[in-house]
Amino acid sequence: MRSASIAVRNLLRNRRRSVTTLLAMIVGALAVLLFGGFSQMVKNGLETGFVRNSGHLQIQHRGYYLFGSGNPAAYGIRNYAGIIERVKADPVLAPMLTVVTPILQMGGIAGNFAAERSKTVFATGYVVAEQNRLHEWNDYRFPTTPLRSALTDSSPDAAVIGLGVARILELCAPLNIPDCPLPQDTSEQGGARMPPDIAALTGSEPQTKAQEQTRIELLVATAQGLPNVGELHVLKADSLGIKELDDVYVAMHLANAQHLVFGREPHQATAIILQLQHTSQIAVARARLQQLLDREFGEDKLEIQDFGALNPMYGQTITFFNTIFTFIALLIGVIVLFTVGNTMGTAVVERTVEIGTLRAMGLRRSGVRNLFVLEGLILGVVGAVLGLAASIAAASLINHAGVYWTPPGRVDRIPLTLYVLGANALLAGCALGLISVATLSAWLPARRAARLNIVEALRHV
Amino acid sequence: MNPVVLTNVNKSYRLDAVRVPALRDISLEVRPDRFTVLCGPSGSGKTTLLNLMGCIDRPDSGAIVVADQPVATLSDDALSDFRARNFGFVFQNFNLIPVLTAFENIEYPLRLAGMATEQRQRRVREMLEAVGLADRADHLPGQLSGGQRQRVAVARALAPAPKLVLADEPTANLDSQTGAAIIALMRRMQREQHLSVVFSSHDPHVLAQADDAVFIQDGTITSIERRENRGGTQL
């Protein structure tokens, strides 16, 4: 006949009330854990997407991040090949690295002479094989196949453009893009008529042959500040999930991009992407990389940008979800607080004579208080265990229901995967929260019970 | 050593803005090994006097000494421990703990008194035998009749061998036959175990059993009859 046994029997005394209280806790745990699991999925999804595109760390020329976007001539990294070689050979960094690859980004004007359309664009040159390896990063084991670049095994002049660029340059038909409207009249046309002087730079007349219909011209400024035009063969138009990006995106082979900007001069890159095995390694890798750059490449005036700085949307989204999660958790906490408090308060009223009897027999005030607090604690523990079990079961059901969705900022549909099982911090936090709130909410009625006047308690009807 | 001595005790209760006197200048010595009956009409102050004797209420003035220990200065915790060691209570409505079996109800005050497990369980079995409920040990109060419940309550009150057993009209909610049986049981156990029992009642059958009879009216003791000892220790 231990105190816990008495507490359990008292809880079973009014089964319906105890079950109702437990149900409130279970529903609360479900809400908190399923939303927590959903938030974790969004976080993991965003992180995976960003890490696949921009890596965990980037080495850039000092000032490029703030002032040099699209200006490779002023902010290029001359010795990028040497830096990559040194980074890959570093004994501290090497075990953490999955990919180290250069990219070149530049602004320009893309033109489709066949349709007499042009558009300012932001072009990226990358090493296709290494870009594909970047896309293989899957630390959270999303059940998806990594996307392969459309430039894989393509000719050196191949390019991939954004859906918006294709629409504006009137390349939808040649690229077989469905649901891609053409402008009805001139006033609705997104692209501008190509100026005659720029058209003259191409040295060619607008193409009319069907096989030439997917060719575009890209006008960029060379390292010397002169205009240069390259001809690109568009393989595909990709949607990047964000219209602003779709309207400016052009991707090509790194060598082709470098040739356009630097010609016969030594080629440069605007950034070196470092992708790590795990996001948690960023701090260590960054510190080591900074040490290496300071010691061996000080004259190159380089700086390091990390994953968070490169993708401010990631931090904003996480903050947004954390805020909602906190709000839901607080709301559930208050509901549980009042539900358990009400249950225990009613129990105190119902058991007033019993409290008086126990006190008359010699039970101290603390004994009475402990009895009711223990009942709240047991309610909390049972509610937490059942709530966690229900949440894990519900998450498992949802995860195996074959539901797919497209997260914000992505274009591919991924399985809806609620990260509940294995989210130990979330589970422990929820359980601890429920137990604490249940115990706390029992404390006030318990205190009231302990302070009852014995004579008045015995007289209670 | 007298189990309880009250000297010039006064007690009043507040009813809204009015103070209602419940006991006035009560002085009483409860003698050891006696079956003392507090007798008086409803509202005369019997229960208040029992509450003060049992240290579950404090007087406005006057002194209460229980087993040579003045209780006025004891803290609430000390008083709780003191009650657990010195008193047994039998209530009009039995006041058994509904989630505990008969065995566990009797065992509860022994736990509070800190008795060792083996000794405690032996004592509970003795008490169940003494009140004739050995076969009802595992029954919850809800599974017992009124008389059986009160017998469990008597066993619970007597189990720790308290210096004083206080019974507040324990037969009031029982039929006359069962009530008489409870009185007989308590009287027998009081004699066998040499207990001091204070019993409040206005039942003439109870009064007939008294060693000492204390008559109360309007919060004042009107008379005390010290009768021939019918089984207790001779003074």
Which range is least confidently modeled, A10-19, A109-118, A185-194, A282-291?
A185-194
pLDDT at position A95: 96
Averaged pLDDT for residues A154-162: 93
Which residues are paired to B5 by β-bridges? Answer: B29, B65
Write down the pTM of the prediction: 0.80
Alpha helices in A351-364 (DSSP H): 352-361
The percent helix, strand, coil of chain B (3-state, each to 5) is 35, 30, 35
Residue A409 has a pLDDT of: 65
- The answer to whether residue B33 sits within a structural domain is yes
Q: Which residues of chain B have pLDDT under 50?
A: 231-235
What is the pLDDT, as a whole number, of residue A210? 47
Does any CB of chain B come closer than 8 Å to the CB of residue A364?
A: yes
pLDDT of res. A207: 46
Q: Is residue B180 part of a domain?
A: yes
- How confident is the model at residue A298, as a pLDDT? 84
Cα separation, A43 vs A51, in Å, equals 12
Residue B234: inside a domain: no
pLDDT of residue B27: 95
Question: At A300, is the pLDDT very low, low, confident or very high (cuts 50, 70, 90)?
Answer: confident
CATH number at residue B8: 3.40.50.300
Is B9 inside any structural domain?
Answer: yes
- pLDDT confidence of residue A247: 92
Q: Which bin fits A184, alpha (ψ -120 to 50), beta or left (φ > 0)? A: alpha
Q: Which of A153, A182, A154, A185 is nearest to A168 (CA)?
A: A182
pLDDT at A117: 86
Task: Please list, residue by residue across A401-420, b when 16 or more beta carbons sit within 10 angstroms of its beta carbon and e when fewer do.
Answer: eeeeeebebbeeebbebbbb
pLDDT tops 70 at residue A201: no
- Report the percentage of chain A scoring pLDDT > 70: 93
* Residue-wise pLDDT tens digits, A141-155: 887 777 889 999 999
Task: Please state, in angstroms and rounded to a whole number, the distance separating the CA atoms of residues A158 and A236.
Answer: 9
Range of the domain at B90: 4-226
Give residue-wise pLDDT tens across range A316-329.
Answer: 999 999 999 999 99
Q: What is the pLDDT of residue A96?
A: 96
First to last CA, chain A: 28
Q: What is the pLDDT of residue A196?
A: 61
Interface test with A, best of B57, B80, B140 (most A CBs within 10 A): B80
Positions of E strands within A360-448: 404-405, 414-415
How far is Cα A68 from Cα B184, in angstroms, rounded to an integer? 104
- Residue A365 near chain B (CB below 8 Å): yes
What is the complex's ipTM, to 2 decimals? Answer: 0.93
**B232 is a domain residue:** no
CA distance A307 to A315: 10
Q: Which residues of B touch A364 (CB under 8 A)?
A: 76-77, 80-81
* Choice between A152 and A116, residue whose per-residue pLDDT is larger: A152
CB atoms within 10 A of CB B166: 30
CA distance A149 to A276: 20
- Could you tell me whether strands B18-30 and B4-15 are parallel, antiparallel, or unpaired per DSSP bridges? antiparallel
pLDDT at position B234, please?
33
* B233 within a domain of the structure (yes/no): no
A158 band by pLDDT with thresholds 50, 70 and 90? very high
In a domain, B235, yes or no: no
> Mean of the per-residue pLDDT values for chain A?
89
Of B99, B104, B112, the CB nearest to A361: B112
* pLDDT > 90 fraction of chain A, expressed in percent and rounded: 67
Domain count, chain B: 1
Q: Scan for tokens 């302990």, then name that residue.
A: A450
Would you say residue B131 lies in a domain? yes
Q: Looking at the complex, does the CB of residue B56 fall below 8 Å from at least one CB of chain A?
A: yes
Provide the pLDDT for residue B231. 45
Q: N- to C-terminal Cα distance for chain B?
A: 12
CA of B115 vs chain A CAs: smallest distance (Å): 14
